[in-house]
Structure 1
Amino acid sequence: MGDIKKLQGGYYELTKLDSTKGNFKQAYEHYKLYTLYRDSLQKQEVEKRQLQAKMQYEFDKKQAIAKAEQAKKDAEQKRIKNIQYFTIAGLAFLLLAILLFAHIQWRNNKQKKKANALLQQQNKKVEETLTELKSTQSQLIQAEKMASLGELTAGIAHEIQNPLNFVNNFSEVNTELIAELTNELSTGNKEEAISIAKDIKENEEKINHHGKRADAIVKGMLQHSRANRGQKELTDINALADEYLRLSYHGIRAKDKNFNVALQTDFDESIGKINIVPQDIGRVLLNLYNNAFYAVNEKKNNYQPLKGGKEYLPGVTVSTKSVKSPSGGLGVELTVKDNGNGIPQKVLDKIFQPFFTTKPTGEGTGLGLSLSYDIVKAHGGGIKVETKEGEGTEFIINLPINN
């Protein structure tokens, strides 16, 4: 390039020299060579600059790529560091959560063990209490049965005693009349003997009548205690209600001669026979009658009439009537009503609960109404109570005619 520059300068000087001498043709040739070398030099300079520029561009590009790659590497390293940081932080949090969960689980298990131990103790106590309760319940049920049996026996004894008294009395009278008859016949007093014979005959008829009455009572009780008890059968509910009313009343009268109650019955004769277990329904009636008599007797014993007021007259009313049952068929409604003190409203919802009683300690087991409720339910019926304190109580039993 230095040689070319020298040639360019030499031809430029020759051009000027030839021009001075007037050798213009030669000056023109020299000038063309000068421009040729000048252009060549300029081209080389341009190419050199272009090359430098390209090289600078390539260098800058490589620098930029290197910087970008470095920035990318830095960003990647930062991302990796961030990932590592968050991973470590996540693992630490997870570990903390696991430790916390394990602690809570351990504490819960500890509390659960304590609760289970306490529950086992309570279950043991409950089982012991339940066993004791069952034993007490069995004893109370047995006591209730024995009390019912005693009341029933007293009623039966009173019922049978009346005809037996007539039989014994007329038998004694007949013994005396026979002695008189023998006397009159021995003395020949025929008319007196015939009169005495008529009296003996009448007495024998009365003995036979009351003997049959006692026999009917015994047969009726044997029927109630026959081997197939617990079986439903067609039963005259009116006769059953009346029979147990008399048994209950005379049973109490056998214990207390001063006990008197006005009994009233109103039986619907159109009912006919219904399908029930007579012994069970009889027990229900006996419970209701006994409670009614107890209520009116308590009121009578504690009654203090106002000055100029009426005396209290104890009364129990038993009635039956044909009604529609809840299922839509025909049913029987049997009511036992008394004019005693009534049941307090605060205990009204408890009277059908087992072992609940309003009677003083020793006078009631609290099982009568509970068992009565179960018996009536077992027959597909229902039992409810209506009461007003100071005025009386009415128990209403509904039974389907055919169940």
Structure 2
Amino acid sequence: MTTTSALARLLRPVVPLPPELSINEVAERLLTPEHKAFLSLPVVDAESRPLGLVSRTRLQDIFMQRFGRDLRGRHPVREVMNPEPLVVSLETSLEDAAKQVTGQLQYPITEDFILVDAEGRYCGLGTVLDLLKAMEARIGQRNRVLRKALVDLKESQVQLLQSEKMASLGQMVAGVAHELNTPLGYVKNNVQLLRELSAPIFELARAQATLAGCLADPGCDEERLAAALRDAAEARELAAPELLEADFRQLFGDTLYGLEQIAELVVGLKDFARLDRAMSEEVDLNDCIRSALLIARNHIKDKAEVEQQLGELPRIACAPSQINQVLLNLLTNAAQAIDGRGLIRIRSWADDDGLYISVRDSGRGMPPEVMAKIFDPFFTTKPVGQGTGLGLSISYKIVQDHGGQIRVASEPGRGTRFLISLPHLRVAAMKRSA
């Protein structure tokens, strides 16, 4: 729809009045059925250019006077018309026309407005009521568009959140898989060693079983017995079971230690995801910190030493999987910000106002112009393909939804510190991220 057609639909093709027409003639025309919907009639010159508007109200004022019709009725209508009518071009947009009309209207409303073409020639009348109805329809249409846009935006936001979660999950799974490989590797090696070391014992058992069978067999001759004794002695010498006890004890111990590490990672992964926990569960944030450190260990271990200063914290109601996501993001970013090898210090404490978690790194730091944008969606300083720019934005939203704040302080060359503060009680209406 063009702006011209929008206003053209409001146009009422009223036949204009010549300025020489008498007041009585105009009054009679206003009484006709085709003009009953109009508050006024247009007056134009010979070139169809608007000269003014004659309103019903003005004529009524004249005719209400004593002998008004007799004294003034024969006068030309130009004497009683409004020479400065409201004129709107058909080229004007519907919104601008509404602003123009409402900006110049006087109350009570006694006149319509004139619609003209691009050359200023009269085209017809427009009524305020028609204009208001058109604007109401336009606003209703835009509201529908905005509602749809809002729904689409929410769906896009959910998809973006899910994409970021999947990206974090991918990093987490890769890290956990790498961490599992180490204990799995030496558990596998130990099992192979146990198999190799136990083979002579099984051979000894077979030789001794053969010797026992020969001893129990009355028909076993001396030659078979001597061979069985010789084989048993050789197997005993090769197996040397008294020497294997220490090796077996060491191998079993190492294997159990490796399995315990695997179990620790699995439990840590489950605690990190909190898949079996309620959204409103009361948790110790220090447990969240330890869980996030365990999952992030693969990203951190080659980049930084981790120093923990965890104070005693009261349990608070929160969404632990979301808090873990925030902590994992901060720890991963801290490791990525360090060139060479550095230090990550994580602290927790509480006071009367709330609970606090501080994550500080000795990395590159950030200039003020970068620090001002880090919580903006899609802003990232990482190379293309290495970051979505959503991690800190989502972390900010999660902390905000918990009724808390996340702040940052940084200086180039001196590292970065993030501070999370959470109230003792979760906000009752905490939003739940998808």
TM range (shorter): 0.5 to 0.7
Mapped contact 1:262–1:313 kept (Cα < 8 A) = yes
Matching of residue 320 in structure 1 with residue 362 in structure 2: no
Would you say the 8 A contact 1:230–1:279 is kept in 2? Answer: no
* Structure 1 counterpart of 2:165, one-letter code: K
- State the SS of the aligned residue for 1:324: coil
Question: Is the 2:269–2:291 Cα contact (8 Å) retained in structure 1?
Answer: no
User: How do 1:221-260 residues align onto structure 2 when only pairs under 5 Å count?
Assistant: 221-225=269-273, 227-228=275-276, 231-250=279-298, 252=299, 260=302
The 1:182–1:220 alpha-carbon spacing in structure 2 relative to 1, beyond 3 Å, is same
Following superposition, the deviation at residue 265 of structure 1 comes to 2.0
In the other structure, the counterpart of 2:322 is: 280
- 1:158 matched to 2:197: no
Q: Larger C-alpha radius of gyration, 1 or 2?
A: 1
2:81 aligned residue: 95
* Greater relative CO (CA pairs within 8 A, separation 6+): 1
C-alpha displacement at 1:213, in angstroms? 2.8
Counterpart in 1 of 2:255? 207
Q: Secondary structure at the match of 2:381?
A: coil
- Find the counterpart in structure 1 of residue 221 from structure 2: none
Change (3 A) 1:93 1:242: farther
In 2, Cα distance between equivalents of 1:87 and 1:291 = 88
Point out where structure 2 has 5 or more consecutive residues left out of the alignment.
1-65, 99-133, 206-231, 427-434
SS at 1:100 equivalent? coil
- CA distance in structure 2 between the aligned counterparts of 1:115 and 1:189, rounded to whole angstroms: 109
Partner of 1:72: none
Contact 1:357 1:365 in 2 (8 A): yes
Deviation string 1:56-100 (CA, Å, 9 cap, x unpaired) is xxxxxxxxxxxxxxxxxxxxxxxx9xxx999999x967622xx52
Whether the aligned pair in 2 keeps the contact of 1:317 and 1:337 (CA below 8 Å) is yes
Amino acid at match of 1:382: Q
Q: Residues of 2 paired with 1:266 and 1:147: CA distance? A: 27
In 2 relative to 1, CA 190–355 (structure 1 residues): closer, same or farther, beyond 3 Å? closer
CA contact (8 A) 2:201 2:239 kept: no
The whole-number CA distance in structure 2 between the counterparts of 1:395 and 1:343 is 12
> What's 2:312 paired with?
270
Corresponding residue SS for 2:372: helix
Shift of 1:225: 4.3
Q: For 1:160-194, what per-residue CA distance to the aligned partner results, in whole angstroms no more than 9, with x for missing partners? A: 22222232122122112212444677434599412
Q: Is the 8 A contact 2:280 2:318 kept in 1?
A: yes
Match of 2:113 in 1: none
Which secondary structure does the structure 1 equivalent of 2:310 belong to?
coil
| SS of corresponding position for 1:220 | helix
AA aligned opposite 1:145: K
> CA deviation digits over 1:116-143, x for unaligned, max 9?
89x9999999899878876765554343
Q: Where is the helix percentage greater, Structure 1 or Structure 2?
A: 1
- What SS does the corresponding residue of 1:396 show, helix, strand or coil? strand
CA distance in 2, matches of 1:87, 1:387: 85
Measure the CA separation in 2 of the matches of 1:128 and 1:378: 25
| Distance in 1 separating the partners of 2:199 and 2:73 | 130
Cα separation, partners in 2 of 1:319 and 1:113, compared to 1, 3 Å: closer
Segment of structure 1 superposing worse, 171-180 or 369-378: 171-180
Q: Is the 8 A contact 1:383 1:396 kept in 2?
A: yes
The aligned residue for residue 382 of structure 1 is: 405
Cα distance in 1 for residues equivalent to 2:97 and 2:376? 32
Q: Tell me which amino acid in the other structure corresponds to 2:319.
A: V
Q: 1:141 aligns with which of 135, 151, 161?
A: 161
Identical columns (%)? 32
| 2:109 aligned partner | none
Q: Which amino acid aligns with 1:161?
A: N
Shift of 1:397: 0.5
Counting matched residue pairs gives 295
Structure 2 SS opposite 1:335: strand
1:351-390 paired onto structure 2 within 5 Å: 351-390=374-413
Gaps of 5+ in 1: 1-79, 254-258, 301-311, 326-330
> Structure 2 counterpart of 1:245, which letter?
L
CA distance in 2, matches of 1:168, 1:214: 13
Check the 8 A contact 1:155/1:249 in 2, yes or no: yes
CA distances 1:17-68 after superposition (whole Å, capped 9, x unpaired) = xxxxxxxxxxxxxxxxxxxxxxxxxxxxxxxxxxxxxxxxxxxxxxxxxxxx
| 8 Å contact from structure 1 (residues 234, 273) kept in 2 | yes
Cα RMSD of the aligned pairs, angstroms, is 4.2
Q: Does 1:334 find its partner at 2:334? A: no
